[in-house]
Every structure is written in C-alpha cells, then in structure tokens.
Structure 1
Amino acid sequence: MYLTKVKHLPNAVELTIDGEKAGRIDPAEYYRLNLSEEEPLDEATVEKIRELARDFTAKSKALSSLASADFSKRGLERRLRQKGIDEQKARETVDYFAERGYVSDEMFARRIVTAYSVEKHFGRRRVAQELYKRGIAREAADAALEQYALPDEENIALFFERYRSWDLSDQKMRARASNALLRYGYQFEDIRQVLRDCEEREDYIE
C-alpha cells in the first residue's frame, strides 16, 4: 500500500491511500508519523492512520456540537452516536473533553437548575425532569438541585408576585393559576398553601 496523496488543510491533513481517501488527521500526528507522498506503508502504519482519522473525526464532531450547545457527558455521547461515531470512540472522546474541562456534568447541571428554577421559576420536579432528559446522572442532578434550586414555596410566591394583579377570589382565576403552576412542576399541596397565604394578603385580591 502507498500514500498516494497528502492534502494540507487549515486544521487537518487529508490522506489518500492507494487512491482512496483514508480520512483526515491532526497535522501534529501527520508530522509525528514522518509521512510523505508515494511512500510505501506497512499494515501497522495504515491501521494507525485509520485510527487517527477516526479519532480526529470524533473530536471534530464533538467540538462542533460543543460550539453550538451545552451538553452533559451522556448527552454529548448520545450526540456523537447520532453523528455516526461508534460507542467506544464516542465514550473515549467524551472522556477526552471531560478531562480537559470542556464537558462537566456538575457545571451543566448548575446551568440547567439556574435557568429553570431561578430564572423561569419552575418547580423542583420539573427541573429534575429537565436534568434527566439531558442525561445528567441522578447523583449530580440531586446535588445541583440541593445547592442551586430555589424552594418550591418561594418560587410559587414569586409567581404570584409577578401576577399580583390577578383576582384570586375569582374561581376561574384561581384555577388558571393552579393549572399554570402544575405545568411548572409544583405539587398541588404547595400550590394550595401559597394560595391560602395570598388570600390573607389584601393586596393580592382586587
């Protein structure tokens, strides 16, 4: 087998073996192999090139994904599998980026909890669902909820503070508020308690 073509790209080197593209590899790896065009290749070198090409492809896809969105480790692995990367290579690639701080379940969970609990005022149950949906392990999810989520009672009160003009003495308005909070992931008992507290405050009732 022969290295029949070497094409230098901005961030990669594309190699062709016996007239067929073998893939792209990192330029540093290319120079480390000390390759040149029309050079005969043994089987070990060919396999090394193909492995480097698989590695480069996986890392490139991971970088592209991370540039457009945040991911948990499991979420990034799932994305790579969707992009055609085999299971072992996907896991190795995720570990590579996790070791370098580009992927962190703890930081990702913190951002999700802050966005849904603190900013959107969703209930703890709904926030937990968002964490699990994005591939956060239960231990990391529970830790983030415990450390960063607002108490449900406080978030419900903030919801009513935002809509303080609602007439809670009106049954239709009470039902509308309760249904909205249920969709936000709150327990009915907590909603009912905050409604009772609001009723005792005249400024919530027109």
Structure 2
Amino acid sequence: MKITGIEKYKGSTYKVEFEQQEPCYLNIEIINKFNLKAGIDLPLSAWEQVKEESDFRRARERALYLLDYKDYSYVDMFKKLRQNYDEELCYRVMQKLVDLGVINDRRYAQGLARHYMEVKLFGRRRAFQEMRLKGLTKEVIDLALEEYEQGTGERLRRLIEKKHLRYMTDEKGINRAKNSLIRYGYDYGDIKEALREIQIDSEDE
C-alpha cells in the first residue's frame, strides 16, 4: 500500500491518501508513531498494525471522554467500548485505563456506596442490588458497604421523617410507608423498630 500524500484535515486529524486505495484519516499521534510519509510503500501487515493502533487510540480517547462526565466500573466501560470495538482491543484499552488509575472498581464502589447510603438513604439490600447492576463484583460491593453496617436505624429514621412521617396518620398510611421502606431495601424488623422509636404504633390492630 503506497502512500501518495498526507495532508492536514482538521485539528490533529490528517488525511492519508494511497495509490489505488480509498483515503483514511489518522491522528497525528499515529502518523508520527509509525513515521508515515508520502512515498512509503507499506506491506499489508504493517498497515494492519497502523489500523490497530489507530483503533486503540480512538477507543482509549472515547473512554477518557466518557470518564470526564462520570465514573464507570470495569464491566460497564468494557460494555460501552464493546459496542464499537472487538473484544481483544477492548481488553487492551481496559488494561491501559486500569494502569492509568482512571478505572478503579474499589474507588468507584466507595463513591456509589456513599451516594446510595448517605444521599438516597437506601437499605443495604437495595444498595447492593443497584451496585451489582453497575457491574461490580460481590466482593468489591461488600467491602464498600462494610462501613455502613452500623447506622441502619438512624438512616431509616431519617428516611421516614423525610418522606413518610407526614402521611402516616392512619393504618393505611403506615402500611404504605412500610411497603416503600421495604422497596428501599430495609428489613421488616428494622422498619418496625424505627417506627417504634419515633413513637409510631406499627402493630396491626
């Protein structure tokens, strides 16, 4: 594959033209890495390597762009990349992201745990389920939630006072609150205890 010309296209992207081939567009980083110049006749194997490196760079930059807006678990980012790139390339990019420290499941899990437990006031069961949906392993989730093993009752009381207390004027309102709190991931025993502590009679009459 003979290169007949290389010219700037836009930004850091250059148009590479070939003899009897469609042109392609490469970042200057790739052009410099492989020392591509007009007049060079590349073997097909060398050109495949150039394309692979170009795809790797695009996938890496795509991942870094996404990470500018929010954190991702290893699994979620892999799935995102896999939509456009082959599996082997995705694994290579993911290893680079791990090496850079921008993908770190333990740090990501700690942030999620803080959000679900301190902001959303979820019970452990609901927080665990949500974190699993983010692609985190049981071991990583358990470690992140470990610091929230104490304080369940306090979080539950805060949630009741914030969202339910004003509606709990009769048995119907109390039962609705119980069902909602169960969906939030709290155990029924903890719910009854919290209701008792804020002097709401939760016993069925």
Q: What TM-score do the two structures reach when normalised by structure 2? A: 0.85
CA gap 1:15/1:194 in 2 versus in 1, 3 angstroms = same
**Kindly tell me: are residues 21 and 145 of structure 1, through their superposed partners in 2, closer, same or farther at Cα, counting changes over 3 Å?**
farther
CA-atom RMSD in angstroms: 2.4
Aligned-pair identity in percent equals 27
Q: Is the 8 A contact 2:59 2:93 kept in 1?
A: yes
Preserved CA contact (<8 Å) 2:30 2:50: no
Residue ranges of structure 2 left out of the alignment (5+ in a row): none
- Aligned residue for 2:166, secondary structure, equals coil
**Alignment check: 8 A CA contact 1:166 1:173 kept:** no
Within-5 A mapping of 1:155-194: 155-163=155-163, 166=166, 168=168, 170-194=170-194
> Deviating runs (4+, > 3 A) in structure 1?
11-18, 148-151
Please tell me whether the aligned partners of residues 62 and 76 of structure 1 are also in contact (alpha carbons under 8 angstroms).
yes
Q: Deviations over 1:103-128 (max 9, x none)?
A: 11111111111111101101111111
The answer to whether the Cα contact below 8 Å between 1:117 and 1:150 also exists between their aligned partners in 2 is no
Q: In the superposition, relative to structure 1, how do residues 56 and 14 fare at CA in structure 2: closer, same or farther (>3 Å)?
A: farther
1:3-82 to 2 correspondences below 5 Å: 3-8=3-8, 9-18=10-19, 19-25=21-27, 27-82=28-83
1:118 aligned partner, one-letter code? E
Instruction: Give the deviation of 1:42 after TM superposition.
Output: 1.9
In the TM superposition, residue 141 of structure 1 has moved relative to its aligned partner by: 0.7
TM norm structure 1: 0.85
Counterparts of 1:24 and 1:93, CA distance in 2 = 18
Q: CA deviation at 1:48?
A: 1.8
CA distance in 2, matches of 1:131, 1:71: 11
C-alpha change, 1:188 and 1:3, in structure 2 (3 Å) is: same
Between the aligned partners of 1:46 and 1:148, the Cα distance in structure 2 is 54
Length, aligned pairs only: 199
SS in structure 2 of the partner of residue 70 of structure 1: coil
Distance apart, 1:21 and its partner CA: 3.9
Mark the runs of 5 or more structure 1 residues left unpaired by the alignment: 202-206
CA distance in 1, matches of 2:35, 2:12: 18
